[in-house]
Amino acid sequence: MATADVSSRTAAGGGLLTQEQLTRYSRQIILSEVGIENQRKLLDSKVLVVGAGGLGSPSSIYLAAAGVGTIGIIDADRVDLSNLHRQVLHFNRDVNRPKTQSAKEHLEALNPDVRVIEHPVYLDSSNALEIIRDYDLVINGCDNFATRYLVNDACVLLKKPLIDASILRFEGQATVFLPGQGCYRCLYPEPPPPGMVPNCAQAGIIGALAGHMGTLQVIEAVKVLLGIGKPLASRMLLFDALSGEYRTVRWRRDPNCPVCGDHPTITELIDYEEFCGLPPRTQEPAGELAGPPQQVVQAKGWVREVTEVKDRVGSPDVQWLDVREPQEYKMFRIPGVKLIPMGETLDRLSELDPAKETIVVCLSGERSAKITIELRKRGFDKAYNLTGGMVAWINQKLPIERG
């Protein structure tokens, strides 16, 4: 970064912008709503992005490009090949890397003014207040209801602005929750029953929609940080990508809201898995089973190559298990292979024979590696991950079924 020139214009309070910064942000600075003073504000701002996925990727990229000085990224997951069509912060070389590590490397390469703080953990009631407290604003990019309610409640308790968005298939929505002006619970007092609303892995998502809504979140964040324009507070923007239509609906703070209402009954964080009717979240395996699942199964020898097993489809001594989602399974599959989606596998173990050799399949080998480990932990001593998954199978030009 260039050394500050004494002739450089200064921001309020005497903060200098270097000549390099004046050049980097010049197209932004010439906006009357931004200028030198507000650019300095951005450089001094701290924003937390919850999730480095479909929404968090474009959000964090444009936060960094805009010159937001400190960006926190919270995500406990690793990059999977199936993420890359929409999670544009990550690249092929990042598959199996922690998402926060990938994010930090790419964002700091994009803009050396930016400091990226990694939070490679699951956000829960034990750490949310401590993490969120240090930031000026939160962008929510999570994809599950338990975390969504957790982030909302923490932001209300800490009086932090929250920029919220969600995406599914071809539809997106976004709104802004400002302190004292309502919250997520005013719109959705209770979560839907478990399994009622599909996630992106189940229902699908057009990749560019994530970029569209994620960058919209950044526009709203900049407006709130700088106090310019009219944020989407008390309004929700709805976008239908198939029709190309936008709608804005108004909503109001609920005076009876249990968190932000006139007489709140929730004054501390609760158990959000229980609130949403979900089983407790399991942590990453410890000890010898710690690390990226594909590396674990490889190191333990719990793998089978396509060339080893291609002639064993239909063998009475082998049971094949496809753990992808039904939509993926319909597109293409190994002939005759049983489908039990990843989220249902552990509840349907009675459908499998632990005495048989079990070959677990997914698209790339990542999800199937996780299930292979879980099967091994539950007495399936002949469970193996198909290395490379369906991608490797198709690359060998082996038979597949469709429909």
Residue 18 DSSP symbol: -
Question: Can you tell me the mean pLDDT for 14-37?
Answer: 93
Residue 363, SS3 per DSSP: coil
Residues 184 and 296 in one domain: no
Instruction: Write the single-letter amino acid at 134.
Output: D
Per-residue pLDDT at 5 exceeds 80? no
Q: pLDDT tens digits for 341-357?
A: 988 999 999 999 999 99
Q: Judge if 127 and 99 occupy the same domain.
A: yes
Tell me the residue range of the domain where 386 lies. 287-395
Query: Whole-model pTM?
Result: 0.73
What does the pLDDT read at residue 278? 73
Task: Judge whether residue 9 has pLDDT over 50.
Answer: no
**48 vs 331, more confident:** 48
pLDDT greater than 70 at residue 42: yes
Which pLDDT score is estimated for 403?
Answer: 81
pLDDT, tens only, 297-311 = 988 999 999 999 999
Q: Domain with 382 in it: what CATH number? A: 3.40.250.10
pLDDT computed for residue 290 by the predictor? 57
| Domain CATH number, residue 122 | 3.40.50.720
Of all residues in the chain, the percent with pLDDT exceeding 90 is 74
Residues 6+ apart with CB under 8 A from 11: 17, 36, 37, 39, 40, 41
Query: Do residues 177 and 304 share a domain?
Result: no
In a shared domain, residues 247 and 332: no
Between the two ends of the chain, the Cα-to-Cα distance in Å is: 56
Q: Coil, strand, or helix at residue 240? A: strand
- The angle subtended at Cα 198 by Cα 203 and Cα 88, nearest 5°, is 60
Model confidence pLDDT, tens digit, residues 152-191: 999 999 999 999 999 988 999 999 999 999 999 999 998 8
> Are residues 207 and 297 both part of a single domain?
no
340-371 exposure pattern, b = at least 16 Cβ within 10 A, e = fewer: bbbeebeeeeeebeeeebbbbbbbbbbbbbbb
Average pLDDT over residues 99-114: 97
**What are 192-244's pLDDT values in tens digits?**
877 666 667 667 889 999 999 999 999 999 999 999 999 999 999 999 999 99
The pLDDT assigned to 1 comes to 35
Q: How many residues does the chain have?
A: 403
pLDDT over threshold 70, residue 286: no
**Strand 162-168's sheet: what is its strand order?**
115-119, 70-74, 46-50, 137-140, 162-168, 171-177, 235-240, 245-250
pLDDT score for 11: 37
CB contact at 8 A, 118 and 99:
no
Catalytic residue numbers, as ranges? 200, 362
Token pair 């920029």 is at which residue?
163
Of 275, 307, 327, the residue that ends a domain is 275
| Beta-carbon contacts of residue 350 (< 8 Å; ≥ 6 apart) | none
Q: Where do the H-state alpha helices sit in 347-388?
A: 366-377
Going by pLDDT thresholds of 50, 70 and 90, the confidence category of residue 265 is very high
Residue 18 lies in a domain: no
Number of domains in the chain: 2
> What pLDDT does residue 113 have?
97
pLDDT at res. 12: 36
Residue 379 lies in a domain: yes
Backbone φ, ψ for residue 357 (5° rounding):
-65, 130
In this predicted structure, the answer to whether residue 254 has a pLDDT above a threshold of 60 is yes
